[in-house]
Amino acid sequence: MNNDDFRAWSARAAAWGADYRRTIRERPVRAQTRPGEVAALIPAAAPETAEPMEDIFADFEEKILPGMTHWQHPRFFAYFPANAAPASVVAEYLVSAMAAQCMLWQTSPAATELETRMMEWMRQALGLPDRFTGVIQDSASSATLNAVLIMRERALQWAGNRQGLAGKPAIRIYCSDQVHTSIDRAIWVSGIGEENLVKIPAGGCSRGMDAATLDAAILGDRAAGHLPAGVIASVGGTSVGGTDDVAAVGAVARRHGLYLHVDAAWAGSAMICPEFRPLWAGVEGTDSIVFNPHKWLGAQFDCSIQFVADPDSLVRTLAIRPDYLQTHGRDGILNYSEWSVPLGRRFRALKLWFLLRAHGLAGLRTMIRDHVAWSKALAERLRALPDFEIVTEPMLSLFSFRHRPAGTDHLDAHNLVLLNAINDDGRIYLTQTRVDGKVAIRFQAGQFETTEADIDTAFTAIVETAAGLA
């Protein structure tokens, strides 16, 4: 592809993207293809000779697009959002065109320095104290792994990376049973082992762990010869928004000298609104925090922010400095590759810069407040119907419900059938969870371009589909 072709196809791709976003409401939210249907359309081996871009682009539209679930659809109410505000997408065009590897300051000084400034902007926007320093990671999974590795190294007096874990006491990490599975994976990858992840039962309206139970678990482990290392608190857990009392859990962690990490991957974005900050009261006293602007704030995936109170501990845990990675003749610079597991780094700060400037914090606050208000209103509309129950109350814009028609046995199976029927209908997309062992249907509003009319459509789709099953 020569430069003229590159220009023409780049323009065509951009135009396609704009048309796609303009017409996205006309598509079913979830892919309607069957397993293996797309693969059957793709040749079993790569071509030996070059093919025309016209053919490639046509195959994309005809073979690939029907098998895509449309995460930017305004009626995507499943999982959590993976937003890509248009301003963020434009920034990603530029990042992809430059294709810089931003692992060190010297490999792209602007990338490092813009990232530093964006972390200051976001810290201020969330109301966090200046004791926190930020870095952009690829995902909350990576940020949580970093935190677990720090916990491990601190507990082992910084000997784990050198000596391994053989012959050491069992390192214990504590969390509620509402945390995301990324915590389990971090425990696996760090070598700590799943049996040493102590999950404290969650309860109450907030679905958070009890601080007294946490304290007792730590004391019991110490008495048994184990090595307590850290606590992971949840704010807005994936299932139904489980949220720990960060202040109470933090007091226990500090009393025992443990590292405290807060996973607010989804809910953290809402903290740009001061009225929601009581949900993580006490966060100012934690050791690290993760939240994902690529979920609710509008930054295209991937863009996860990790705040740390002591960056030296993070660098001490992860940094390896061979001579070929030294920046000679420069003092006082940051190399963010020393703050993450991967050496390679994309220029993620650019899309955050575009996003914050194009919408302003006021615009982003309005979006989040609308989502919360609309979701609560939908919960009340469903609650008012005789055959529906609200299982978990709204946590920001997330709640769960169940359909309970009179005379229906096997409600778990019934609600799974209802969920599949709703998703096959195509107007909206929802997912399920289990609450106290029973199936519930999740609803969360968070897509960047959702309107109140889309919430009305969700109500209609849910109620009509349930009536059809009856």
pLDDT by residue (tens digit) across 84-132?
999 999 999 998 888 888 788 777 888 888 999 999 999 999 999 999 9
Both tokens assigned to 82: 């993976």
Does 3.30.390.30 match the CATH number of domain 3-69? no
Which of 3.50.50.60, 3.90.1150.10, 3.40.190.10, 3.60.15.10 would CATH assign to domain 364-469?
3.90.1150.10
Both tokens assigned to 102: 């931003």
* Ranges of H-type helices in 224-270: 246-255
Which of 3.30.300.30, 3.40.50.880, 3.40.640.10, 3.90.1300.10 would CATH assign to domain 101-346?
3.40.640.10
pLDDT of the chain along its 470 residues, tens only? 899 999 999 999 999 999 999 999 999 999 888 999 999 999 999 999 999 999 999 999 999 999 999 999 999 999 888 999 999 999 999 988 888 887 887 778 888 889 999 999 999 999 999 999 999 999 989 999 999 999 999 999 999 888 988 889 999 999 998 888 888 999 999 889 999 999 999 888 788 899 999 999 999 999 999 999 999 999 999 889 999 999 999 999 999 999 999 999 999 999 999 999 999 999 999 999 999 999 999 999 989 999 999 988 888 888 876 544 554 444 567 888 888 887 888 889 999 999 999 999 999 999 999 999 999 999 999 999 999 999 999 999 999 999 999 888 899 999 999 999 999 999 999 999 999 899 999 999 999 999 999 999 999 999 999 998 87
3-state helix, strand, coil in the chain (%, to 5): 50, 15, 35
DSSP string, 384-429: TSTTEEEEEEEETTEEEEEE--TT---HHHHHHHHHHHHHHH-S-B
Any idea where the domains of the chain sit in the sequence? Answer: 3-69, 101-346, 364-469
Q: What's phi and psi for 102, nearest 5 deg? A: -100, 45
H or E stretch including 152?
helix 140-155
Three-state secondary structure call for residue 80? coil
Q: pTM value?
A: 0.90
